[in-house]
Amino acid sequence: MRERAREMRSHPTDAERRPWSILRAKRLADLRWRRQVIIDDRYIADFVCFEHRLIVEADGGQHAESPYDADRDSYLAAQGFHILRFWNNDVLINSDGIAEAILDAIDSSGAPTRADPTPQPLSRKGRGAFEGAHNG
């Protein structure tokens, strides 16, 4: 699994490069983020802020209604993580909106209150639709 995470860090998708350019080096609210992180030797998360137990995922269409992702999210939520999912096309066309949605999620009680298994589309204003960050 370590080798897979290393490979994913070395060869990110375009949809992973965009948020990393915002999150890396404490560029977003001076928070430390890590990418392609192995959690409990079971799963690899795209981006993790351990301070807020927040995971950000950039997902393609293969993740829509995925039973694997539902199980994964349930497990990670049980470990105290909160998960924000974005569709790849939203990440690619609205990185400012993604950054704002992440900040909103962190600001609204320190972190979202639940893993939401469905990637959230962004509104035209570029704000994330995270009323759906619920407790699981």
Task: Domain count for the chain, please give it.
Answer: 1
Q: Is 130 exposed, middle or buried (0-12, 13-18, 19+ CB in 10 A)?
A: middle
CATH number (domain holding residue 83):
3.40.960.10
Q: Is residue 18 part of a domain?
A: yes
Is the pLDDT higher at 27 or at 134?
27
Q: Does the pLDDT of residue 33 top 70, yes or no?
A: yes
Distances (CA, A) of 124 to 31, 106, 121, 127: 26, 21, 10, 8
Q: Is residue 38 part of a domain?
A: yes
- Whether 64 shows a pLDDT value over 80: the answer reads no
Helices (H), the chain: 2-10, 14-23, 67-78, 88-93, 95-107
- Answer whether residue 135 is part of any domain: no
The pTM of this model reads 0.75
Q: What is the pLDDT of residues 110-128, one digit of tens each?
A: 544 334 444 444 433 333 3
Domain boundaries, position 73 = 2-107
Of 111, 97, 102, nearest to 50 (Cα)? 111
In a domain, 36, yes or no: yes
